[in-house]
Amino acid sequence: MHERYGSKTIFELHKPGCQSVRWPACDVPCNEIAELIPEEYLRHEVPSLPEVAEPDLVRHLSILAARNMCVDSHFYPLGSCTMKYNPKRHERWAQLVEFTHLHPYQPEESIQGLLALLYSLQQMLSEIAGLDAVSLHPAAGAQGELTALLMAAAYFRSRGEARRHVLVPDVAHGTNPASAKMAGFEVVQIRSSPAGIADPEILAEHLGPSTAVLMITNPNTLGLFEKEIVRLCQMVHQAGGLVYLDGANMNAICGIAQPGKFGIDMMHFNTHKTFSTPHGSGGPGAGPVAVTAKLAPFLPVPVVVYEDGRYRLDYDRPLSIGRVRSFLGNVGVLIRAYCYLRTVGAAGLKQVAELAVLNANYLLHKVGKLLPVPYGQRCMHEFVASAAKVKAERSISAMDIAKRLLDYGFHAPTVYFPLVVREALMIEPTETENKETLDAFSAAIEAILREPAELLHEAPHHMPVSRPDEVRAAREPILVWRE
């Protein structure tokens, strides 16, 4: 394609007078705009928008879109984020006009089909969790955490207990302590054992009358199963606290182990990760929470219920923490999760987990020969390799490897998380990748590690931008046209 597209900004393609649409002259009576809109809301200058012809616009945007790395174009082993392939037929179903043309204020009688779907999704999630009740409202995993912690706070208030501390392992995702703080608790970090999992003896040092909640991720962010989970739950319960499961890693165990059976009291799902929905660049998502019967009265309103042959939105829940999200949650994402679960079925869901774990272990076996994996000979759905040794010996960092992988046509893994691994590369292949892709990825790492450090320090070499200041690029993006 001619280099005019893509290599220039849309503002540089601007040609005064160029238009994509030409309107015919108006043949009905017109009002002056000033008669219709108050003066204070009117523009007095023409906005400086680029003027381009429609084919130029389409080519420009298509070329830029093709430069973006996404699950549909590239292997995307971004640990913790579960960037699995998203079935296209679920997109079609979520876009049925029977869903998209609904209005959030329509009466319940006229949205029985949607309510049936949401009710059924609540039931399925409740079964996968092994817990009694579900709210579909939270718009993301992090909001699910906040919702559950607000429920925990309401639960302790209802019992007249002042419990302040939320215990969070040192390998937890950053949203865990942030949610605890936002819900008004104090965060206490608990260190992991040398094996990279939570240790009952270390937990015991922190338990007491002010313990509110233990937030734990299982499998954890090192890709390790928390083997002591049953004992940990018993200990927290004995101290009068609750256990919260961060369910972001459910793809490793769904259909195999029900977290409710570990003894947890509440959890969230990241439906956009585990049950698919394209969720790059921070959205969209859904973070339903599942809880035990004793916490159910505190769920956000409304809850979808089924009574006397019809579905109803139940607002009459006096202990509810109230609303956490407008209307019924991110319904488009929930529809995709429903479609995913109905497509794979119970047996398929178990196979999803088995293949996610098999793929991760296959890749661990190959990558582990190239870079040390400090925790675990075996992993669940992901593993964390370390570039600390190549950094010390050859000054090649995790960032250098991640950036150079882009040149080889792979999205970078998650880097520098979890914090307990130095120069961390957190790799999650997901179950939707085949052996050839996994082999090619490990071959790329092998090739990169043979390259000169100077070349790697300036990678990527074949991308439109090489090493932007990532913090500034995110916080101060340049979105205006400066002539």
If binding is defined by CB under 6 A, does position 386 make contact with ligand PLP? Answer: no
Q: What are the C-alpha distances in Å from 344 to residues 79, 90, 219, 242, 420? A: 23, 12, 22, 32, 36
Q: Which residues pair with 291 in a beta bridge?
A: 133, 266
**Shortest distance (Å) from residue 248 CB to ligand PLP:** 3
Of residues 5 and 275, the one with the C-beta less far from ligand PLP: 275
If binding is defined by CB under 6 A, does position 142 make contact with ligand PLP? Answer: yes
- Out of 214, 248, 290, 384, the residue judged to bind ligand PLP by CB under 6 A: 248
Task: Count the residues of the shown chain that bind ligand PLP, applying the rule CB under 6 A.
Answer: 14
Tell which positions 200-239 bind ligand PLP, by CB under 6 A: 217, 221
Of residues 251 and 432, the one with the C-beta less far from ligand PLP: 251
Region from 126-134, 139-147, 340-348, 397-405 binding ligand PLP, contact rule CB under 6 A? 139-147
Of residues 380 and 396, the one with the C-beta less far from ligand PLP: 380
Tell which positions 87-106 bind ligand PLP, by CB under 6 A: none
Q: For residue 430, with 0-12 CB atoms within 10 Å meaning exposed, 13-18 middle and 19 or more buried, which class applies?
A: buried
Of residues 140 and 399, the one with the C-beta less far from ligand PLP: 140
Within 8 A by CB and 6+ apart from 362, the residues are 429, 435, 438
Q: What are phi and psi of 71, to 5 degrees?
A: -60, -30
Alpha carbon dihedral 402, 276, 354, 118, in 10-degree steps, equals: 150
Sheet holding 165-169, edge to edge: 133-135, 289-291, 266-269, 242-247, 211-217, 165-169, 186-190
- Closest by CA to 371, choosing from 295, 438, 427, is 427
- Out of 77, 141, 177, 241, the residue judged to bind ligand PLP by CB under 6 A: 141
If binding is defined by CB under 6 A, does position 270 make contact with ligand PLP? Answer: yes
**Shortest distance (Å) from residue 80 CB to ligand PLP:** 4
If binding is defined by CB under 6 A, does position 77 make contact with ligand PLP? Answer: no
Region from 134-142, 182-190, 191-199, 353-361 binding ligand PLP, contact rule CB under 6 A? 134-142
Tell which positions 273-292 bind ligand PLP, by CB under 6 A: 285, 287
Of residues 386 and 414, the one with the C-beta less far from ligand PLP: 414
291, 152 contact by CB (below 8 A): no
Q: Which residues pair with 243 in a beta bridge?
A: 214
If binding is defined by CB under 6 A, does position 175 make contact with ligand PLP? Answer: yes
- Out of 173, 381, 404, 411, the residue judged to bind ligand PLP by CB under 6 A: 173
344, 338 contact by CB (below 8 A): no
The single-letter code of the amino acid at 470 is E
Please tell me the distance from the alpha carbon of residue 223 to that of residue 376, in angstroms, as a whole number: 8
Nearest residue to ligand PLP, by Cβ distance, number only: 141
Q: What are the C-alpha distances in Å from 263 to residues 53, 236, 242, 266, 362? A: 61, 10, 10, 9, 31
If binding is defined by CB under 6 A, does position 169 make contact with ligand PLP? Answer: no
Quickly tell me which residue has 């979890």 as its tokens: 418
Tell which positions 37-56 bind ligand PLP, by CB under 6 A: none
If binding is defined by CB under 6 A, does position 80 make contact with ligand PLP? Answer: yes
If binding is defined by CB under 6 A, does position 456 make contact with ligand PLP? Answer: no
Please report, as ranges, the residues that interact with ligand PLP according to CB under 6 A. 80-81, 140-142, 173, 175, 217, 221, 246, 248, 270, 285, 287
